[in-house]
Every structure is written in structure tokens, then in C-alpha cells.
Structure 1
Amino acid sequence: MPWGPEKKKCQKEEDKVFQILIKGGWMMIPLAACSLVAVTIIIDRFMFFKRIGAAHRGEEVIAAVRQGKVDGALTIVDQGPGTDKGNPLPIMRVLSAGITHPSDPEGAMGAAAVAELSLMKRGLVALDTIITASPLLGLLGTIIGMIDSFKVVSAAGLGQPHAVTGGVAEALIATATGITIAVITLFPYNYFLSRIERETDLIEVFSTRLEMAMAKIQKEQGQ
């Protein structure tokens, strides 16, 4: 087949990369675990923020409340975009909490917002830890590798300088791997933080507007 040589070449490159990583020492094991955890969380968070990125119907909810149609507002929440088996968007759940607690909408929406914020932040502490710890683990692996290299030199004598240079080169693999994991994880982490900030601002704006609408309705009904 025409793609046979190319496939063999790719296989050789993969084997070469694998062998280089193996030479990084036992510290590559926790680094591999960090990378696996980071990838898992990043995929989960991307899927989560993709779902809550759907266009919400907050304006319609507030309009319904202003008209005194509370049941209609709750129906909009349940039928809005992003709803999956009774699981509306975060902003819609917050508005729903305010509507269903007319005696204290501010407190209800505040509690709901805290719960939604906790859901949005899930896994980000682990990503932050990986970003900080990966370079340190890599550096620790390099230090351990260099100590082993100097032990080899002391045993072999100064007549074999390649023994220490080769050992140092292999020891630096751990540092390079740790920094790579941290850098690759940093960009999605910052993106998730920006999405959380945007969703939080959105919830705050619509919560305030809903509270004002409910206060106006209650005032009109009291007259």
C-alpha cells in the first residue's frame, strides 16, 4: 500500500517519543497522572460551558413577571433552550428560584446563584493545582535525575564526561514535560474563568431586573 512507509515512519516517531518520556524517570508517572486528570476535566468543562452557552430567555421571563403571569414565566424556564430533562440553564434556575419565593426573591436568587457558581467552578481547583504542581514535579524529577548522573560520574571517573551530559539531558525531560502540561492546561483554565465571570455577571443583571419587576408588581397589587 502507498501509505505503508508513512505509517511505519509515524510508528517509529511514536516509539521514539515514548522512549524519550520513559527516560524522564519515575517522576513521569505523577506527571502522566496530572495530564490525564487535566484532559478529563478540560473535556468535561468544555462540554458544560457549551451547554450553558445556549441563548437564554431571561427577557421573556421578566416580561411575563411584569404582566403578572408567574406560571407563564415558570413555563418559559422549563421550556427554554439548554433544558435537558428538567435541567434549565443556570441563569434560568436562578430566576426560577426568585419567582417561586416571592417573599424573599433576593435571598432565594442569591442562594441559587451560589449553587450555580459552585457547579461552574467544579474541577477548576484541580486544574489550578496541576498548573502549579506540574513544573515543580518536573523540576524535582530533574534534580533527582541529576543526582543520579553525578553518582554515575563519581563511580566512572572524570574520564567519561558523556556520562554526566547524557544523564542531565535525560533528567531535563521531566522539567520540559511538567512545563508543557502546565502551559497546555493554563489556556483552557483561563477560558473557563472568563466564562464563569461572564455567566456570573449575566445572573447578577437579570436577578436585579427580576427583583425590580417583582417589587413593582407587589407595589401595584398593594395599592
Structure 2
Amino acid sequence: MILANIVLNTFSRGGPIMWPLLLVAIVAIVTVLERIFWWSMIRLRRQQSKVSEVYSLLKNGRIEEAAKLARASKDPVMKMIWWGLNHHETSLQNALQVAAGFELKQAGRGLAVLDTIVTLGPLLGLLGTVTGIMNAFHFVGNEELAAVKVSGGIAEALIATATGLALAIFALIPYNYFGRKLANLQFDLETAATNVELLLQSRGREIRLGPPTARYAEAASPER
């Protein structure tokens, strides 16, 4: 209860700029929590052993079995392989690129929001600093109100600045973390795509498994 009163008191002393800062903070928290949940689900779905099994099947020319095994998986790498093996409108390379692009788009969701917050937080804090100092100087010269109002304006400026910087720091850490996770997933997708192409080229085979049963977006996990 005491802590809540301190927070509310500090918030009210931060001035009007605290409201947009609060909105930005809510967006940041929701985005970070959503990304944590998404990456946790991806970690549970990764099936490196099955990816190796698909490579083995492709190496032995058992393409239909490899496609069937990949189709049943929710691993983003396996789903990319499945789409590549079941393409019919374009080349294998293009089909793999389309599927990898879809997965990377899902993985990169929210990074632009966090990147914006890293920049926007300090700017809003700076705006609060300016308005707080302006309020402080507005009462300079009035001996009755000067001491209280000037100190209140300075407090408003400092609170807004600190809040904006705290928001930027809060968003920067998960931004870099999720960016690294995205880079790792991109590397895994590119590596898998290259391996599939090399294995099929080494067999000198064309992929003709018939049209896929659904578009790739529909084949993606419904939990997305």
C-alpha cells in the first residue's frame, strides 16, 4: 500500500507527459510478454533430431517420406522444408525462400515496436524535462510561489527524464535478446534450405509430389 502511494505520488508529480509514458510502458510490457511466450513455444517445437532424419531420408532419395515427416511437425525449419518439397508453381529455392520469409516475419514481430520505444522513451522524457523547466521558470519572480513551484517544476522534469530513460533501458534489453534469437533462427533456416538443395541436387532428382493441400500460411500452426 505504501509502495502504491509512492508510485502514484511520483506519477502525479511527473506532469502530463507521464500519461503518454504510461501508455508506452504498457505497450512495451505487452510486447515483451508476447514475445517471451512466442519464443518459448518455438523452443518447445524445435525438433533437431527430426531435421536430421529428414536429411537422411533425402540423402537416400526417399523424398515423399521426408515430406510426410516434415508435414507433421510444427518446427519452423521442418515447415519450411515441407513447403519446399511440396512446391509446384516455382523452383525449390524460391519455395524455400518464401517459407523461410514467412517464419522470419513471425519471429520478427514486435521488434519494430521495441525499437521505436527505445527511441521514443527518452524523447518523451526530454519533452517532460522541457515542460517541467518551463513551468518552473513561469513562477520565477513571484516570491510567494517561487520556492514551491520551481522545485515542483524541477521535480517534474527529473521524474519525466528518469521515466523515459527507464523505458528505453527496459525495451533495449529484450530488443537485443529477441534480435539475437531471430538471427539464430534465420541461420538455422538458411542452413536447412542449403542442405535440402544440396541433398536433392546430389541425387539429381526433380521434386514432383503434386500440389500442396493448402497454402503455406494455412499450413502454419493454428496456435500462431
Structure 1 length as normaliser, TM-score? 0.84
**Equivalent residue of 2:186, what SS?**
helix
Structure 2 residue aligned with 1:69, among 62, 77, 80?
Answer: 62
- Hey, what does 2:42 align to over in structure 1? 52
Contact 2:13/2:155 (<8 A) preserved: no
Report whether the alignment pairs 1:105 with 2:92.
yes
Q: One-letter code of the match for 1:202?
A: D
Q: CA deviation at 1:208?
A: 0.5
Structure 1, unaligned runs of 5 or more: 1-10, 81-87
Structure 1 CA distance for aligned equivalents of residues 115 and 66 of structure 2: 39
Structure 1 CA distance for aligned equivalents of residues 144 and 78 of structure 2: 71
Q: CA deviation at 1:117?
A: 1.3
Structure 2 CA distance for aligned equivalents of residues 51 and 128 of structure 1: 23
Q: One-letter code of the match for 1:75?
A: K
Q: One-letter code of the match for 1:144?
A: T
Structure 2 CA distance for aligned equivalents of residues 24 and 217 of structure 1: 68
Structure 2, unaligned runs of 5 or more: 208-224
Contact 2:57/2:65 (<8 A) preserved: yes
Q: Which moved more, 1:175-184 or 1:56-65?
A: 56-65
**Equivalent residue of 1:153, what SS?**
coil
Structure 2 CA distance for aligned equivalents of residues 112 and 196 of structure 1: 15
The runs of 4+ residues in structure 1 deviating greater than 4 Å are: none
Structure 2 residue aligned with 1:41, among 18, 27, 31?
Answer: 31
Contact 1:97/1:109 (<8 A) preserved: yes
Q: How does 1:4-153 map to 2 (within 5 A)?
A: 11-54=1-44, 55-56=46-47, 57-80=50-73, 88-101=74-87, 104-153=91-140
What is the aligned-residue RMSD (CA, Å)? 2.1
Report Cα offsets for 1:190-216 as digits up to 9, x if no partner. 000000000001111111011111112
Structure 2 length as normaliser, TM-score? 0.83
Aligned residues between the structures: 203
Contact 1:98/1:108 (<8 A) preserved: yes
Q: CA deviation at 1:13?
A: 2.0
Q: CA deviation at 1:23?
A: 1.1
Contact 1:94/1:113 (<8 A) preserved: yes
Contact 1:98/1:211 (<8 A) preserved: no
Structure 2 CA distance for aligned equivalents of residues 75 and 145 of structure 1: 64
- Hey, what does 1:198 align to over in structure 2? 184
Report whether the alignment pairs 1:188 with 2:188.
no
Structure 1 CA distance for aligned equivalents of residues 27 and 147 of structure 2: 39
Contact 2:135/2:150 (<8 A) preserved: no
Q: CA deviation at 1:220?
A: 10
